[in-house]
Amino acid sequence: MTRPGNPASGVSEAWNGPVEPGGTRRSERPDGGQPRPDMEEAPQRPTAAERARTLIEGNSSLALSIPGLRPAPAGPIGPMVPLRRSVGPDGDVFLLFPAASPAARAARHAAGDEVGAVLEVTDVAPVAVPHRIRGRAWVAGWLTQLPGGGFEPGTELLRLEPGEISLDDLWGTGLVEPDEFADAAADPLVPFETEVLQHLAAGHPDEMAGLCGLLGTGCRRAAAAVPLALDRFGLRVRFTRADGSLFDARFDFPEPVTGPSGARRALHALFSAAQLP
């Protein structure tokens, strides 16, 4: 299946920074764009399928497009944004829409036939940081209506069967097979990531800036440090130097965590290590 658009459009080649001591790795871009390390540098990392599931099941923004839909969504209806979303055990993406939405009408009028559609997922960092879009994913597939599936009056439940999945995020670009997507699971910290990142940014700016000391003598202290992403394997921080240039550093946890309590302990250990002489 062909989907419109290119996930890498407007993104220049990543500049791969060196691996730093202490379980950290750093990346930066000479053009001032989104820093992104080489995937092979990280010993522990989520797979492309896990990252796609995390984007779809997390706090990302979703919008559905149906190529060739006429008339195109406009006016008071606005974009085709689902009210809710979920992923089934077979990897199908279930989308709840108002019954009067173009998406629901298109699936309803197909009379049992499949409708080609593309779900675009945009992940925006929940903290104020340069280059705030952390990733995008595209799920191209076939849309069908599930009769009687609406959870509320005036809604309809649609099923998107994935045929092609791609993503472009902080880890890089990737393609995901539908069966890999079905077998994967979202990161266990995704329900808590927003709260934790906002808490770190607002309540622990000194500790965040102090993490720069774990990167070696070349980074005594950054002008600013913002927690950018958190997953079961570690924390990613975006540092701003005094001259305004940016770089990311990834701080790996000793072992993957399974929930907020484990993440809290791992973060405290990072801050303690940064305070050591």
Q: Where in the chain is the domain with CATH 3.20.180.10?
A: 19-38+190-275
What's the confidence (pLDDT) of residue 175? 97
Q: How far apart are the first and last CA of the chain?
A: 56
Q: How confident is the model at residue 49 (pLDDT cuts 50, 70, 90)?
A: very high
- Model confidence at 222, in pLDDT bands (50, 70, 90)? low
Task: Give the pLDDT confidence score for residue 168 in this predicted structure.
Answer: 96
pLDDT 10s digits, 12-45: 222 223 333 334 555 554 344 444 444 445 557 8
Fold of 19-38+190-275: Split barrel-like (3.20.180)
Q: Which fold has domain 48-183?
A: Pnp Oxidase; Chain A (2.30.110)
87-136 residue pLDDT tens: 999 999 999 999 889 999 898 887 667 799 999 999 999 999 989 999 99
Residues of the chain with CATH 2.30.110.10: 48-183
What is the tens place of the pLDDT at every residue in 151-204?
778 899 999 999 999 999 999 999 999 999 999 999 999 999 999 999 999 999
Q: Which residues contact 137 (CB under 8 A, 6 or more apart)?
A: 7, 51, 52, 55, 56, 60, 120, 121, 123, 165, 166, 167, 168, 169
| Percent of the residues in the chain that have a pLDDT greater than 90, as a whole number | 58
Which of 82, 78, 51 is closest to 64 using CA atoms? Answer: 82
Mean of all residue pLDDT scores within the chain: 81
